[in-house]
Structure 1
Amino acid sequence: NRYHLISTMSSRTLAKSLSRVECKGLELYGLILCLVLALSIWTNFNTLLRHPSFSGVSDEAFKALTHTVIGRRMETICNKLIGDADLCEIEGDIRIEGNTATIFVMIDEETITNSTNLWTIKPYPRGYTSNVRPWTIKLVRYNDRHDNILKCTHNHNDPAILFSTGGYIGSHLYSITDLLLPLYMTSIGFQRRVYFLATDYRAWWISKFTLVLDKLSRHRIINIDIETEKVHCYRKVVVGLYSTRGNGTWKSVQNFKQFVRDAYSLKRKRSMVARPLSWTMPSPRLMIVSRKGRQVLVNKDEIVGVARKLGFKVVLADAGISTEVSRVAQLVNSCDAMMGLHGAELTNMLFLPDNAVLIQLLPSGDIDHFFRLDFEEPAK
């Protein structure tokens, strides 16, 4: 910013000088010299910003600069987020060994600023989850024993995000709230120039959300756990995902809804406007999601009859429709309202057009807070 200010001030001074009818030769030469120097400084600084060490390409010449960044970040390399989630953002010479679940950060002796040189985290928004593979982040000195220093087998220009597809993603609700939405929040700023490293790899989950994942990353997803005898090297790595329980989450949800609609090419942007029953317009469509098991609509037929009398075209949907996301997205997007018992299936409200109505039927009990948190707030 300081260099930019020098250039701007010089440009303004030069403009004023040229606007005069007469100007002394010495002043003109001085102004030109100042402008040249400012532009030269800015060019060098701009070149530094575009250097491979900043963009992710390995370069020995800038090793010292990278180590300085690492040294300043040691105190805050890993942070505890809301809900016991761990998030680590690392920049520097980073080497990942998948078969040992270890991330090595190469540093010089003088860059260690405290006694902590090792972190163990679970790259999943719910850090207390048992079925998530823990990963270790370890600082390693360049002057350490030779057998402790891994050699890169794969160098990558783009940064990487390491996350788990384990946890509770068997539930359609948690597939969205615990993984897809946090992954969107963490990766969207990279504009697809990012690698996804999946631990606890679930091929069915990757396949289920392929259309969304392809819009978030231009690279194939790496099953990092099976990358044996390989060392993937990056200049920036994010370990873990942003929590969906922090400030600004609801704004992210709104942006995420539009992102998902674009991914599935959903055509309807807004739902049908209210109209008198006497109008000869298409009937609004109401989707009723029915469930099986312990929570069921015992008077479903009665509800359907009343809805039709009110002028709705009723669409009955089985709770199992959550598996074929593309088909579900198109079906839900064709509706103007959705109704169902509280449950994971209501997560498909993401595909409803704007101004649509969500009707959540609640069981008895003093647990309204959870129902509002899951569906009422995101629906706003």
Structure 2
Amino acid sequence: MAQGMAGDWSSSSSTAAVPSSSGMARRLARHHQAVLGFLLGFFVSVVLYTTVSGLCLATNSIAVHDIENGQKDVLTKTMGKERIEDKKLVDGTDMNKKTVHSTDQLGQTANDARGNLEEELIRQELDQDGDGNNRSNVTLGTPLKPICDLSDPRYDICEISGDARAIGANCTVLYVPPADERGPDGPEWTIRDQSRKDLGYIDKVNVKTLSAAQSLVAPGCTSRHAVPAVVFAMNGLTSNPWHDFSDVLIPLFITTRAYDGEVQFLVTDFRPWFVDKYRLILTNLSRYDIIDFNKDTGVRCYPHIVVGLRSHSDLGIDPTRTPHNYTMLDFRMYIRDVFSLPPEGQGIPFKEANKKKKNGGTSTEEQKPRLMLINRAGIRKFVNLPEISAAVQAAGFEVLVVEPLRDMRLDEFSREVDSCDVLMGAHGAALTSFFFLRTNAVMLQVVPWGLEREAMSYFGVHAKDMMLQDMEYSITVEESTLYEKYGKDHLAVRDPEALRKQGWQLLRKYLWDEQDIRLNVTRFSPTLHQLLRTLGE
């Protein structure tokens, strides 16, 4: 029985061996397939997890940027992460499209690619971060051109195009750059907004480019304007006509004439008397209200703001540095037009009058040339004015004696100057009235002792530039009251050039502030006869 059972078992095993081996092979195949499927699925899961994690990281970085409201450190780091994660996402997508021959090879390829990519990105970041300016430019926009130019020896100038905001309460002008040009830092300048930047008592204006963080909290506009604005100071050496023109009006003309009135003035150190005296010029250069900037409480927004005034020289214009090649002749013509004086083309008054007489006029008496004699009440005055006036009349001139005052009405005074053929006076600010003369009229400058150089550079050169005729009479030392005061051995009397070398203060004290003129009319007489011949030519 046992033997039979054993035989039965043995026989049964032998017959079943073939089908059992085949089943095992199938099971092993299915097992290997399952393992391969598991590994492939695991790798795909890793790739998907990495992709989703990168996307979430980028999203979280952007969220942090929004929450932090633009703080520059967070903003810089966030944008760096955004760039890196964006590149990772692109490369991850490319990897999923590649043909891979084994799970180990795929995993190694993915790790190598990610490692190389991050290494390259980090290298680029380090290269860019090596320079502070490059870092800000790479992460937050392209480099901006400086809005202020401090290179000119006479003046500083700032010019803003775009979102410009003027805040009078603290004398500040802000530039809010476009979002893609904002940097982590905002450069700042403090300048004197007049044509003489070395005058210490001119208050300063702050000009600042806002950083990325500052731009987000910039003060809001209380008014918006479609025209540009110019910020400038009315104080300085003003109240002297020469400085009024040289330091403010000519620089203002250079800076704003090209706008043809479509510009607004924001004035620091506002001077009511200056506005009253030069109102016709100011309101012609700008058709808009003049703003007392120091008292302005709002935030004025303009598409363009200029802070400061361009200036080329004392009472001069360099046409190569002006928008439309303006010259001093253009300025004189402009001033005459502003004051509604006769247009260019009319001759000097006495020639026009005699021309009418020859063409059938009713007058039988020939018109005499008219000479305006400036009477200075202070320094460098004529101490024998009646004697001088009588000599001028005896030479054949009609004389008009005038003492210019600061508060005189320029519209009336300009017509008086225009009616004259000659403007005569001692070297000084009142000769600035030559802007109202007609072409070919004469400026006769009486030059005090030792001031020949100043007479030519401050007036003579510019008179010629404006198509006026310049004549000069230089007095002798005996015609100077310095001779009476100090005697012939004083340095100011004996050698003005040696005095000049000792500095401006001494030069001013003696030659400018303490000198009056006692004109020798006999010696002066030939100059008057030469003047008559010049006018008749």
**Closer/same/farther in 2, CA of residues 142 and 81 from structure 1, 3 Å limit:** closer
The AA in structure 1 aligned to 2:337 is: D
**Closer/same/farther in 2, CA of residues 114 and 83 from structure 1, 3 Å limit:** farther
Residue 238 of structure 2 corresponds to: 169
Q: Which of 249, 252, 259 is equivalent to 1:180? A: 249
Residue 198 of structure 2 corresponds to: 128
The runs of at least 4 aligned residues of structure 1 exceeding 6 Å deviation read: 113-116
Give the distance between the partners of 2:144 and 2:437, measured in 1 at CA.
43
The AA in structure 2 aligned to 1:302 is: E
Residue 330 of structure 1 corresponds to: 415
Q: Is the 8 A contact 2:185 2:210 kept in 1?
A: no
Q: Which of 311, 320, 342 is equivalent to 2:427? A: 342
**In the TM superposition, what is the alpha-carbon distance from 1:312 to its structure 2 partner?**
0.7
**In the TM superposition, what is the alpha-carbon distance from 1:338 to its structure 2 partner?**
0.8
2:294 equivalent to 1:219: no
Residue 305 of structure 1 corresponds to: 390
Matched residue SS, 2:145: helix
2:309 equivalent to 1:241: yes
Matched residue SS, 1:237: strand
Report the TM-score when normalising by structure 2: 0.53
**Closer/same/farther in 2, CA of residues 330 and 300 from structure 1, 3 Å limit:** same
Residue 372 of structure 1 corresponds to: 456
Report the TM-score when normalising by structure 1: 0.74
Q: Which of 131, 150, 158 is equivalent to 2:219? A: 150
**Closer/same/farther in 2, CA of residues 119 and 90 from structure 1, 3 Å limit:** same
Moved more, 112-121 or 101-110: 112-121
Residue 351 of structure 1 corresponds to: 436
Determine which structure has more spread, i.e. the larger CA radius of gyration.
Answer: 2
Alignment deviations for residues 270-300 of structure 1 (CA, whole Å, 9 cap, x no partner): 313498xxx9421110011011233221332
Matched residue SS, 2:214: coil
Structure number with higher helix proportion: 2
2:347 equivalent to 1:270: yes
Percent sequence identity over aligned pairs: 30
Residue 157 of structure 2 corresponds to: 87
The AA in structure 1 aligned to 2:312 is: T
Matched residue SS, 1:320: coil
Residue 37 of structure 2 corresponds to: none
Alignment deviations for residues 40-97 of structure 1 (CA, whole Å, 9 cap, x no partner): xxxxxxxxxxxxxxxxxxxxxxxxxxxxxx966523x212354431111111111111
5+ residue gaps, structure 1: 1-69
Give the distance between the partners of 2:209 and 2:156, measured in 1 at CA.
18
Q: Alignment length, in residue pairs?
A: 305
Structure number with higher strand proportion: 1
**Closer/same/farther in 2, CA of residues 331 and 85 from structure 1, 3 Å limit:** same
Q: Is the 8 A contact 1:119 1:138 kept in 2?
A: yes
Greater relative contact order: 1 or 2 (C-alpha under 8 angstroms, separation 6 or more)? 1
Residue 202 of structure 1 corresponds to: 271
Q: Is the 8 A contact 1:118 1:138 kept in 2?
A: yes
5+ residue gaps, structure 2: 1-140, 355-363, 465-537
Matched residue SS, 1:163: strand
Residue 104 of structure 1 corresponds to: 174
Matched residue SS, 2:210: strand
Q: Is the 8 A contact 2:273 2:407 kept in 1?
A: no
